[in-house]
Every structure is written in structure tokens, then in C-alpha cells.
Structure 1
Amino acid sequence: MKNSILDRITIIPDVCNGKPTVRGLRITVETILQYLSSGDSSEEIINAYPFLEKLDIQACIAFALKNLSTSKNDIQLAS
């Protein structure tokens, strides 16, 4: 069976307080998304964390999208 890109995201209670991380490493999905939202490119993130792969960053985005589409969004936008 083909592995899903989401298999790169792990939740281990003893790693980063159980936050979703990349491949069980001590870098959270949240950290990667913060870098991306501040304008850093995948290449810049990989330069800062050479143990990461481009697919890891894509997995973080896919994980966020999956969670956004399956949870209630309580964010209020200004009109």
C-alpha cells in the first residue's frame, strides 16, 4: 500500500508535549507553518533545518489543511 504524505507527521506524547511533529523529530508542524506564514520559502526552512526534506514541509501543509477542513473554525474575520 502506498504511504500517505501525512505519514510523515507524528504525534508522540513524549516528544514536544504531544504536538504534531515531522517524522518524530523535535520540530513541530506549528513551527514549520510559522516559518511559511512569515514568508520563508521551503528552501530557507531546509537550510535552517538540514534534516528536513521538501516532502516534510508539504506534509505540514497537508496536515494543516486536513485539520482545517475537519474542524469547526471559530476565527472571526473583520468585515
Structure 2
Amino acid sequence: MAVEQITVDPRRMGGLPTIRDTRVTVGMILGQLANGRTIEEVVSDYPYIDRSDVLAALRYAAAAVN
């Protein structure tokens, strides 16, 4: 399941999928969205990611459950 903005590196965040080469995990993004935060709020919390990164996390998660 290749999503360009998502990387998995066993040396970063215990091998969890992260946004590009940051320490922001897909799970962190999903957790915030599940708790009612908007994409804009998530991006404001992590200024080094953007809307397309959040959408990539959603695409990655969708592919993971299918």
C-alpha cells in the first residue's frame, strides 16, 4: 500500500507509518480526526505538515483496512 507521503522506517517511531520523514504518525492524525478535530486544526498543530499529508494519512488508513 504505497502512499507517497507516508513512510515506514523501523528507526523512526518504532516503525509506525509516519507523515514523510516526520515523527507525526498516521495514528496520531487519525486519533485527532476521530476526536472531532478538523484537518485545518490538525495542520495548525503540526505546521510542518499540510492538508495533503493529512489526506494521505486517511488514504493509507483506508487501504490498510481493505
TM-score between both structures, scaled by the size of structure 2: 0.94
CA distance in 1, matches of 2:43, 2:64: 24
If you compute each CA radius of gyration, which structure gives the higher value, 1 or 2?
1
Which structure would you say has the larger RCO, counting Cα contacts within 8 Å and 6 or more residues apart?
Answer: 2
- Map of 2:15 onto structure 1: 18
Secondary structure at 1:40's aligned position in 2?
coil
CA distance in 1, matches of 2:40, 2:55: 12
Higher strand share: 2
Render the CA deviation track for 1:5-28: whole Å, top value 9, x for unaligned.
811000001000000000020010
Secondary structure at 1:6's aligned position in 2?
coil
CA distance in 2, matches of 1:28, 1:51: 13
- Structure 1: gaps of 5 or more residues: 70-79
CA distance in 2, matches of 1:48, 1:24: 17
- Structure 2: gaps of 5 or more residues: none
- Map of 1:53 onto structure 2: 50
Q: Identity, % of aligned pairs? A: 32
TM-score between both structures, scaled by the size of structure 1: 0.79
Q: How many residues align structurally?
A: 65
Secondary structure at 1:21's aligned position in 2?
strand
1:64 aligns with 2:58: no
Q: Partner amino acid for 2:42?
A: I
